[in-house]
Chain A
């Protein structure tokens, strides 16, 4: 958990469909919908499993471990946000690598970034009158 004030971010519009994802960080959990019949993880959230069409989908916590699929070091001040330059990344979760997240890679020297490197989730808490959210960021995983 960060102890400093988090940077400005455009927060997600939280709905009944995605609340489990954006609030999972309160319990330190990265969660995805998972089909209760075939075991497939769904992302982004859908009301039905795209693999077996089952409607029995429910949020489940995953380990929070992933691998870095690709990244870009952004230098452009598009909008207020993290201190420049910051790293945008796509990660693939270990439980099902076809589930990807666009995210930020944090706590990693830019020279040390390697595609394929193991990473783990770290949450950034944002207070919001509509309901707090926890943004899932990723950092190098020293235990992998």
Chain B
């Protein structure tokens, strides 16, 4: 068969199942055990057996530091399940956490695998312990640790956290467009009101704007509630060949288009425009690969490792103009679950449902498209048929446009 350079090849892929392990603030479980729980749940959800899985893809692969950032690598899972794989992949240098899923779509489209198990496993909650994030900073603030790699350019300036890096993007957006903390707050408040009815969410108590402003500052303009909550848990999705999915348990979720690009310098502080991120490029690429428009999207599940990243995705994906995400989210009406034009982060995002790191958004998009979201299911004006799952920030961003027939 001749290669058609104009084919949107990701459409040969679909999502056939999703699954999650137990999720908690601190589960103190063996991370590989937790990983396998999530993986087996997804395989079962698709109606597949373990022996059907012939590909594995994960983000970021095995990493010792930061503690808890990676619960298992691809080899861990291939070996633990005694898989025979035609293709596998892991790595940090890809288009955000969902870059691993985009890669899996390309692998099944190319015929290297039929059913790829994709997963993201974290145990940052347990690994950080009671001391929280300060317990896992590079070098721990003592000894002879020396900064190298990209950290050479931020650690000596006491800027070890993406909280600070993203806060500087937000501050620039505030300056350029008049964005305010009252607007930013609605990312956190919307997440919380959705988490209230998600039994798997970490934080479910109601949160008010007053609560938001009473929270301690982390790094201006971010307060505590602008930062996601570290947790333990594994999310897995099965990416299958579309032409092998019709006999499976569930109707396949189509991959209409993906976005994986980075056109600026692949750096947090050298990126060409400090009021945008690589999501600008990934989202622009996505819309070149489909006839659908932003106005066709009925659900957005967009990364909120820090609240501002979600606003940045809303602009990048064209749901409002550049610089207009503040007014777009203010008051929370447009992003509300059943009355908004763009229901957002319906599971509670990482801000309230836990830092499952990118995959939680894809999981929720699929659950909503399958109408399996229970009390939090979007039903008005209808069960969504077109959704975007978007993850990552800074120099590492990727997104998928998903459809139900």
Binding site for B on A (CB under 8 A): 7-14, 18, 43-44, 69-82, 85-86, 88-90, 98, 100-104, 115, 130, 133, 135, 137
Min C-beta distance of B273 to chain A, whole Å: 11
CA distance A78 to B161 in the complex (A): 8
Write out the residue numbers on chain A whose beta carbons fall within 8 Å of the beta carbon of B145: 10
Say yes or no: B218 contacts A88, CB within 8 Å. no
Known: A8-B141, A70-B172. A100 touches B270 (CB 8 A): yes
Query: Which of B48-56, B90-98, B162-170, B288-296 lines the interface with chain A?
Result: B162-170
- Select which of B137, B147, B148, B168 is within 8 A of A72 by beta carbon: B168
Say yes or no: B158 contacts A79, CB within 8 Å. yes
- Select which of A12, A71, A101, A104 is within 8 A of B168 by beta carbon: A71
Say yes or no: A10 contacts B147, CB within 8 Å. yes
Say yes or no: A135 contacts B219, CB within 8 Å. no
Say yes or no: A79 contacts B139, CB within 8 Å. yes
Interface string of B142-184 (1 = CB under 8 A from A): 1001111000111111111101110111011001000000000
Q: Cβ of B382 < 8 Å from any Cβ of A?
A: no
Interface size class of B (residues with CB under 8 A): 35 or more
Min C-beta distance of B254 to chain A, whole Å: 39
CA distance A61 to B138 in the complex (A): 31
Say yes or no: B154 contacts A102, CB within 8 Å. yes
Say yes or no: A72 contacts B220, CB within 8 Å. yes
Say yes or no: B137 contacts A79, CB within 8 Å. yes
Say yes or no: B158 contacts A90, CB within 8 Å. no
Write out the residue numbers on chain A whose beta carbons fall within 8 Å of the beta carbon of B141: 8, 10, 79-81
- Select which of B146, B218, B270, B274 is within 8 A of A75 by beta carbon: B218
Interface centre among B169, B171, B221, B222 (most CB of A within 10 A): B171
Binding site for A on B (CB under 8 A): 133-134, 137-142, 145-148, 152-161, 163-165, 167-169, 171-172, 175, 216-222, 269-270, 272, 274
Closest to B268 in A: A102
- Shortest beta-carbon contacts, A-B, top 4: A79-B141, A81-B158, A13-B146, A72-B167
Min C-beta distance of A115 to chain B, whole Å: 4
Known: A10-B139, A12-B147, A12-B152. A70 touches B158 (CB 8 A): no
Min C-beta distance of A142 to chain B, whole Å: 22
CA distance A101 to B140 in the complex (A): 24
Min C-beta distance of A46 to chain B, whole Å: 12
Say yes or no: A135 contacts B156, CB within 8 Å. yes
CA distance A44 to B266 in the complex (A): 12
**30 chain-A/chain-B pairs, Cβ below 8 angstroms:** A9-B155, A9-B156, A9-B158, A10-B138, A10-B147, A10-B155, A10-B160, A11-B147, A13-B146, A44-B153, A70-B168, A72-B219, A73-B219, A74-B158, A74-B167, A75-B217, A76-B219, A78-B137, A78-B160, A78-B161, A79-B134, A80-B141, A80-B142, A81-B141, A88-B157, A88-B164, A89-B168, A103-B157, A104-B158, A137-B157
Q: Identify 5 new A-B residue pairs, CB closer than 8 A, beyond the known A12-B148, A69-B172, A74-B159.
A: A9-B155, A9-B157, A75-B217, A79-B140, A103-B157
Write out the residue numbers on chain B whose beta carbons fall within 8 Å of the beta carbon of A43: 270
Closest to A137 in B: B157
- Select which of A7, A12, A72, A77 is within 8 A of B164 by beta carbon: A72
Min C-beta distance of A138 to chain B, whole Å: 10
- Select which of B140, B148, B158 is within 8 A of A13 by beta carbon: B148
Known: A10-B147, A44-B153. A75 touches B216 (CB 8 A): yes
Say yes or no: A102 contacts B160, CB within 8 Å. no
CA distance A115 to B161 in the complex (A): 21
Known: A70-B274, A74-B159. A13 touches B153 (CB 8 A): no
CA distance A130 to B269 in the complex (A): 28
Write out the residue numbers on chain B whose beta carbons fall within 8 Å of the beta carbon of A69: 172, 274
Write out the residue numbers on chain B whose beta carbons fall within 8 Å of the beta carbon of A80: 141-142
